[in-house]
Amino acid sequence: MRAESVRKLGIVTGRDDVRSEIREFLASRRARITPEQAGLPVYGGNRRVAGLRRAEVAMIAGVSPDYYVRLERGNLSGVSDSVLDALARALQLDEAERAHLFDLARATNTASRPRRRPAAQRVRPGVQQLLDAMTDAPAFVRNGRLDVLAANRLGYALYSPMFDGPARPANHARFTFLDRRSTEFYPNWDDAANTAVAILRTEAGRDPYDRGLTDLVGELSTRSDEFRTRWAAHNVRLHQTGLKHFHHPVVGELSLNFEAMPLPADPGLTMTAYSAQPGSTSEDALRLLASWAATQEEAPAEPTRNDA
């Protein structure tokens, strides 16, 4: 995408766009907090701003109004961790939002450099062996762009609609927003969509110079109104554990617990594994899915490593 189009879509691509992201992120968090929620007295008259005023955030954070204006203009250069902590408390940021704020501060303190194509990410043989040993649990490894780099047989079977297409690596966000089957596959499609965007937004703050991520966000923003609207909300989210619902085209309804575990030896990669509640109908469906996967002539082709 052209740089001008990228900026208009609010896609973080470099130092200037990190400053823009900081401005929009802080302003959006400030706008959602009412004076009552912040414990401030409310006097008569109409307020001209949604949420808190800048001066009110500055007072709660214990900094001068001028200094806070500087921060909300996107200048976090040299800001101490204690000030960032005070800002996070004043804006009532959750754990994911606080981490995102610190990521943005680190990015703005990094010398400007051009966007880059990331080095090809590879799943080590030991990780693949671990995936293959998990015969009763669907599992896969993804990167921060939601590319699936490896999976076990049950993982391929669970996400078989996503792997139907020829594109490799398969990508959760592309499937969610560009494949109509996703609305049936995910009974709670809105939650799946919000989660995908929040993960990408989090990754954009962590690594604003990843050209692959920029290209993905640009593609989704131009092809999906649903994505573009959610991207503009600047929401971030930790996606570590929880319950997911699926409507699989072969075995029907599945409600599966998941655990997402970063791989310390492989920075940027996360392994996600699913399990069903013992004795549940989902456990029966998972067994049926395993039987169906075993009857297939061959598992879907593994993602092409060099495309990661």
Task: Reply yes or no on whether the pLDDT at 269 is more than 60.
Answer: yes
Q: What is the pLDDT of residues 45-75, one digit of tens each?
A: 677 777 999 999 999 999 999 999 999 999 9
Give the pLDDT confidence score for residue 165 in this predicted structure.
79
Distance CA 167, CA 163 (A): 8
pLDDT cut 90: percent of the chain above it: 73
Confidence of residue 302 (pLDDT cuts 50, 70, 90): low
Least confident of 207-211, 235-239, 277-281, 304-308: 304-308
- Report the SS3 class of residue 39: coil
303 versus 225: the higher-pLDDT residue is 225
Task: Reply yes or no on whether the pLDDT at 300 is more than 80.
Answer: no
Parallel, antiparallel, or unpaired for β 241-248 and 252-262?
antiparallel
Task: Reply yes or no on whether the pLDDT at 22 is more than 90.
Answer: yes
Give the pLDDT confidence score for residue 305 in this predicted structure.
47
CATH class of this structure's domain 125-307: alpha beta
Pinpoint the alpha helices (H) of 91-150: 95-108, 125-133
271 versus 8: the higher-pLDDT residue is 271
Q: What is the pLDDT of residues 117-160, one digit of tens each?
A: 556 678 999 999 999 999 999 999 999 999 999 999 999 999 99
- Cα-only R_g, the chain: 21
Nearest one of 4, 16, 24 to 114, comparing CA atoms: 16
Task: Reply yes or no on whether the pLDDT at 217 is more than 80.
Answer: yes
CATH class of this structure's domain 3-108: mainly alpha
Give the pLDDT confidence score for residue 6 in this predicted structure.
47
Round the average pLDDT of the chain to a whole number and report it.
Answer: 88
Domain spans in the chain, listed from the N-terminal domain onward: 3-108, 125-307
For 23, 33, 76, 101, the CA distances from 70, given in Å and listed in that order, are 10, 20, 8, 15
pLDDT, mean of residues 260-264: 95
159 versus 238: the higher-pLDDT residue is 159
Per CATH, 3-108 and 125-307 having the same topology is answered no
Q: How deeply is 57 buried, as exposed, middle or buried, from its count of CB atoms within 10 A (0-12, 13-18, 19+)?
A: buried
